[in-house]
Structure 1
Amino acid sequence: MFPADFYTLDQEAERWVKVGDRVKVGDSVKVGDSVKVGDSVKVGDSVKVGDSVKVGDSVKVGDSVKVGDSVKVGDSVKVGDSVKVGDSVKVGDSVKVGDSVKVGDSVKVGDSVKVGDSVKVGDSVKVGDSVKVGDSVKVGDSVKVGDSVKVGDSVKVGDSVKVGDSVKVGDSVKVGDSVKVGDSVKVGDSVKVGDSVKVGDSVKVGDSVKVGDSVKVGDSVKVGDSVKVGDSVKVGDSVKVGDSVKVGDSVKVGDSVKVGDSVKVGDSVKVGDSVKVGDSVKVGDRVKVGDSVKVGDSVKVGDRVKVGDRVKVGDRVKVEVKWETALKWETALK
């Protein structure tokens, strides 16, 4: 009978650790079975490496780092102190990871990625190439980030989010769950995006914008600063929204619409294509505006008003429904 800890030569070979040339290992380091370390690798103190880990060449690992099982690290990677990496993680070449970063299981990081300090990445996350992530960022589970994406500091991303290529996200942004962001999108600072939001390509969002749940934004849309968008809003393509605009729930905006500053739109409003709305306009609930309508400044539209196509409304006009006469236009003198 063989002892319980007896291994055949083949089994023993699988447990061996293979270390390349010019490798420097610090104090109190623990390395698991079947680990392969490349050349010119430097490992700090109090590092723990799991089983079946493969580390490329010219890798530098800081102190108090914990690496899970079945992790693959590319060449020229730099890992800071107090980093924790889960199981089945794959890190590309020329990646730089800051201090106090926590990476979940089954994460894939592309090449030339830079991750700041105190970042937390969930499970099953995929990060493309040339991505830059700021400090104190939290990324949920099942998130997919494209190439050449830049994320600012103190950003929180929910679960099942998909971010396209060449996207830039400012500081202190909060993104909900199941959000899809297209390519070449720019998001300002202090923006809050709800759940199940879909943003098209080439969209620009200003600072301090709040977007509700189940909102759909088309391509080439520009949103100003301090805009608030309600739930279940649909915005077409090539729409421009000014600053300090408030949009209610269940609003539908067509293509090529231009909205001025300080506009307030009620709930269940439908705006056609090629509509131009001036500044300081107030639109009530359940209003329907046709195509190619032009509305001046300081106009007030009451509830349940219907405006046809190719209508032009001047400045300081009040439009309201009179139940005894169906529709009344009250025009203030300039």
Structure 2
Amino acid sequence: MSEADILEVPMQHASTESRATLDTNSMSASTAAELPLPYLPESVAVTRRFVAAKLREWGLDELVDDAVVIVSELVTNSVETCCQTHMLVGIRRPTDRIVRLLAGDGSRSMPVMVQAGPDATSGRGLALVHRLAHGRWGVTPLPFGKVVHADLQGSKNVHFCRTREQARVLCELAPSPIVQQRARGVEFTTDCLTDHNGRTSAILRRRLMVQAGMSMVAVTIDDPEATKRVTEAIRAIRAVGPVDVQGFITEGADPRVVLTEINSRLAAGFLLAEEAGADLVRQAMNGLFRQPVDHRRLTYRSGTFLTKYVAVMSTEPRAIPGAL
């Protein structure tokens, strides 16, 4: 069955139990939606498009990236159960800024989050869901199966405007409004080093997952146009030393490369540049102490990945044995 066939599955083909489970029928079409799908790998891509389209319709574009990753993991787990009836995917909007993603299937096997080893090829899915949803996920067991849900929360007081008139009205209503250009495309960060002669080497990395402004998953890329725009910007501000430049590589827009931020420091993900072969730290120290910067050692390999994990072990005050 193709993806086009899946999209044609009528709502009445879903089991009545699954429809009741997701509890979207009592909500209006403007706050809830559901989609029955067969247990096929193609259902994952259909789910991603379904959820992304609904979030954009609701003006929650900032949740799209995390949401499609979450539903991909949930639906993949459901597909692997190989049940005979249809699964059901749902999305609810109980408040203006909170979204609940749901996946119901006919298996009574409960998902368990495990700590996958460094060499494991699977087992990280629920850990990823847990991280993206900030722990706000759960499982509801039912006589005929289960429903897994995960919650996401959008930014408060953030509004996407489709016209200048909408922006003008919001600026009159909101106290101290901040207006920013909206860029669509591939978000990137560039680890740059400029010597005292004005020569710049740049290591580009695509930000695949961002949490609270931090790049959690990234991969090095090669884009000559983006590199050119970055080096031109550094030359324009006459920056010397380590520089972190962020921006977007857009599709079909002019200009294609949009720069959004420049910081005179090493970025938090500079370890990816090192792993990709660039001798960034050593050459930055050379520049700091007025030694020659060897730009030949700042070349890098594209396609190198870096994944970061941040965990808060405890936030509670506690007595330390032996402490005064």
Structure having the higher Rg: 1
Q: TM-score, normalised by structure 2?
A: 0.24
Q: TM-score, normalised by structure 1?
A: 0.23
Which has the larger helix fraction? 2
Structure ranking higher on relative contact order (CA contacts 8 Å, 6+ apart) = 2
